[in-house]
């Protein structure tokens, strides 16, 4: 573990997500705040989320906003153009709601999707120019990492003790 990294916290690695999640629980019991603990996972972490009491992801609101905005845009665009220069086609009325529905739907999905993407970017802090401390390439391979942010010596000791007690591995670069 590099000296630089040690300055910012303590890292432990586990074979399974369960172990990592268990470590989070134990660390919390030992007085570490959830906000100071980061879990690195090579797989989606649906289970881990249960161990954190964090606000529900705000992505949903972004998606909703995008969707509503798209819907309104679709309606406004079609109706504006109906009347901007009314042309009679096929003996049909100049304004036609069923037609607007198609455009409204498409724009709802389009803006909803784009807003969701933006939400991932914003809330997951990507694109990120710098890596978060505590990361190791094996966390994208086979190991689950638990990193405790703490700059105090005591905190570091305590965290190391807890992680060691749970059988955390020293992370080495193993050949894949």
Partner 1 sequence: MSDRTMEKSGRAQAQIFRRVNRDILATLQRPGVGWAAMMAVVLTVLGIGVIAEVYQIKVGLGVAGYEPPVMWAVYITDFVFWVGIAHSGTLISAILFLFRAQFRTAVYRISETMTVFAVMTAGLFPLIHLGRVWYFYYLVPYPNERLLWPNFRSPLVWDFFAISTYFTISSVFLYVGLIPDIAVARDRARTRFRRRLYSVLSLGWQGTDTQWRHYNRAYLFLAGLATPLVLSVHSVVSWDFAMAIVPGWHSTIFAPYFVAGAIFSGVAMVITLVVPLRRAFGLQDYIDEYHLDRLAKLLLLTSSIVFYAYLVEFWTAWYSGSDYERAVFWDRAFGQYAWAAWIMYSCNCIIPLALWFRRVRTSWFWMFIISIFVNLGMWFERFVIIIQSLAHEFEPFQWDYYTPTWVEMAITAGSFAWFLMWFLLFIKFLPSMAIAELKELLPPKLKRAKEEVEKA
Partner 2 sequence: MERRDFLKLIGITGAGAATACDAKVGPQSLIPYMVPPEDITPGIPTWYASTCRECPAGCGTHVKTREGRVIKLEGNPDSPVNRGKLCARGQAAHQNLYDPDRLKGPKRLQDGDYVDAPWEEAAAAIAAEIGRLRTQSGGEPGAVVLLTGLQTGTRERLYDEWAQALGARRVVYEPFAYEALLEANRRVFGEAALPAYDIEGAEFVISFGAEFLETWISPVRYAGQWARMHAFRGDEAVEKGIFVAVEPRLSMTASNADEWVSVKPGTEYLVALAMANVLGAGGEASEWTPQRAGEATGVDPATIERLARLFADKRSVALPGGISTSHPKATAAAVAVNLLNRAGGAFGDTVTLSAPVTGPVAGSYRAIVDLVSEMQTGTIQALLIADANPVYSLPPALGFAEALRQVRLRVSFSSVFDETSAWCHWLLPDHTPLESWGDWVPQQDVIGIQQPAMRPVFNTRATPDVLLDVWRAIGGGEEGAAAPEEATWYDYLRAAWSDRAPDERAWAAVLKAGGIWEAAAVTPSYLQPTDAATAGRAGAGAAATAEAGGGEAADFSPAEFEGPSGEGTFALVVYPQLALYDGRTANRPWLQELPDPATTVAWQTWVELHPETADELGLVNGDVVSVDSGHGSVEAPVIRYYGARRDTVAMPLGRGHDRMGRFAAGRGVNPIALLPPTADADSGGFAWQGVRVQLTKTGAKVEPLTFQGSDSDHGRDLAEAIPMAEALRLASGGAEEHVEEHVVGEDIPLTVERVARDSDSESPYRWGMAISVDACIGCNACVAACSAENNLPFVGPERVARSRFMNWIRIERYFEEKPGGGVETHHLPMLCQHCGAAPCEPVCPVYATYHNPDGLNVQVYNRCVGTRYCSNNCPYKVRYFNWFQYEWPEPLNWGLNPDVTAREKGVMEKCTYCVQRINAAKIVVKDQGPDAVIPEGMFQTACQQTCPTDAIVFGNLKDPASRVARLAGGPLAYSALEHLNTRPANFYLKHVTDRGGAPTAEPAAQTTGAH
Query: Which CB atom, from 85 or from 130, has the smaller least distance to partner 2?
Result: 85
> At 38, which helix (H) or strand (E)?
strand 37-40
Q: Which stretch binds partner 2 (CB under 8 A): 12-20, 33-41, 85-93, 143-151?
A: 85-93
The least CB distance from residue 134 to partner 1, in Å, is 9
Segment near partner 1 (CB under 8 A); pick from 4-12, 25-33, 37-45, 154-162: 37-45
By CB under 8 A, name the one of 130, 152, 153, 154 that touches partner 1. Answer: 130
For the residues of 7-75, what is the DSSP string, one character each? HHEEEEEESSHHHHHHHHHHHHHTT--GGGEEEE-SS--HHHHTT---PPPTHHHHHHHHHHHHHHHHH
Contact with partner 1 (CB under 8 A): which of 71, 112, 155, 158?
112
Q: Is residue 10 a contact partner of residue 156, using CB atoms and an 8 Å limit?
A: yes
Residues lying near partner 2 in the complex (CB under 8 A) are found at 87-92
């Amino acid at each position: 573990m590099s000296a630089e990294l040690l300055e910012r916290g303590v890292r432990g690695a586990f074979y399974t997500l369960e172990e990592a999640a268990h470590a989070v629980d134990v660390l919390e019991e030992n007085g570490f705040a959830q906000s100071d603990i980061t879990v690195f996972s090579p797989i989606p972490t649906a289970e881990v989320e249960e161990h954190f009491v964090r606000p529900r992801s705000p992505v949903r609101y972004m998606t909703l906003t995008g969707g509503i905005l798209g819907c309104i845009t679709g309606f406004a665009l079609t109706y504006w153009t109906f009347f901007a220069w009314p042309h009679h086609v096929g003996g049909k009325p100049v304004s036609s709601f069923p037609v607007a529905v198609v455009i409204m739907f498409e724009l709802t999905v389009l803006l909803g999707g784009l807003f969701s993407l933006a939400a991932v970017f914003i809330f997951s802090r990507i694109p990120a120019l710098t890596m978060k401390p505590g990361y190791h390439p094996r966390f994208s391979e086979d190991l689950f990492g638990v990193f405790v942010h703490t700059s105090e010596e005591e905190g570091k000791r305590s965290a190391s003790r807890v992680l060691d007690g749970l059988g955390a591995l020293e992370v080495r670069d193993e050949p894949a």
